[in-house]
Amino acid sequence: MTAAEARVGWLGGSFDPVHEGHLHIARGAADALSLSRVLLVPAYRAPHKLDRPLAPDEDRLALLDVACRVDPRLSACDVELRRGGVSYSIDTARELLASLPPGTRLLAIVGADTLAELPTWRQAGELLRLVDFCPVARAGQEPDPSPLLRLGDAGIVDGIRRRTLRLPEHPASSTEVRAVLLAGGVPPWLPPGVLDELRRRGMYGYGAGGASVRDSSGIDRSRP
C-alpha cells in the first residue's frame, strides 16, 4: 500500500480506562475497512463529558499504550492531551492529517448515535470534508446520516452509509470496569498487561496508591 493509498483509522474517547470493547471496535474496523493503522486518541476534555472527572492524562495514555501492544496496527496518540483544553474533533482532524503522509485518508470510527449529534459539532461541514466517518451500529440499529445532508453533498452521506460497521457487540464499559475495580474486584474486560499497569499506578482505588481524578476545572482531586 503506497502512502497515497493509506487508510488510517481514528478512534477517540475518554479511555477511562481502556478495555477490550475499545480494542474490539478498533480491530474490527481495521479488518473491515482495510486500515493500515488505527490511532486511539484519548480526549483531554470531551465536549459532552465536561462535568465528569477523568483519571490523569498520563495514566490513561500509559494504559492505552499497554493495551495497544496486542495488535501492531493499533497505537495510542496523545494529540488531544498535548493540545489541552476542550477536545474538538475539527482541531484533532487537522493535526492528525498534518502529521500523516500526503494523500492519507483519515477515517473516524464513531458510534452510530453520533451521527444525530454531528451537525452541532464545531465546524461540522469542514470536518465532513476532511474525514470519512464510519459509524459502528448495534444489532438491529440502522444509522441515519440524512441530517448531514445540509452540511455536505449526497455523496458524503452515501459514503457514510457504505462504511457502516456492524460488529458483534461487546459487553465491556469503562463505567463497569471502574465500578468493579473500586469494589476491589478484577474486571474480565481488561487487555493483557493493563491490570498490572493500573495496579502499579494505584488507579481507580486498585492497588496501594489510591486513585486520582481531574475534575472539569483541571484540578487533581484524590478519590479513596
Tens of pLDDT, residue by residue over 120-160, are 999 999 999 999 999 999 887 888 888 888 887 788 889 99
Question: Confidence band (pLDDT; 50, 70, 90) for 105?
Answer: very high
Between 115 and 218, name the one with better pLDDT: 115
Residues whose CB falls within 8 Å of the CB of residue 203, separated by 6 or more in sequence, listed in order: 17, 55, 59, 63, 181, 209, 211, 212
| Of 112, 108, 176, 170, residue with least CA distance to 140 | 112
pLDDT value at residue 214: 36
Question: Confidence band (pLDDT; 50, 70, 90) for 220?
Answer: very low
Question: Confidence band (pLDDT; 50, 70, 90) for 25?
Answer: very high
For cell 473500586, name the residue: 182
User: Is residue 108 over pLDDT 80?
Assistant: yes
Question: Confidence band (pLDDT; 50, 70, 90) for 50?
Answer: low
Residues whose CB falls within 8 Å of the CB of residue 138, separated by 6 or more in sequence, listed in order: 112, 169
Question: Confidence band (pLDDT; 50, 70, 90) for 48?
Answer: low
pLDDT value at residue 218: 35
* CATH assignment, 3-171: 3.40.50.620
Question: Confidence band (pLDDT; 50, 70, 90) for 222?
Answer: very low
Cis status of the peptide bond prior to 53, with omega within 30 of 0: no
Domain-wise residue ranges, the chain: 3-171
Share above pLDDT 90 across residues of the chain, in percent, rounded to a whole number? 74
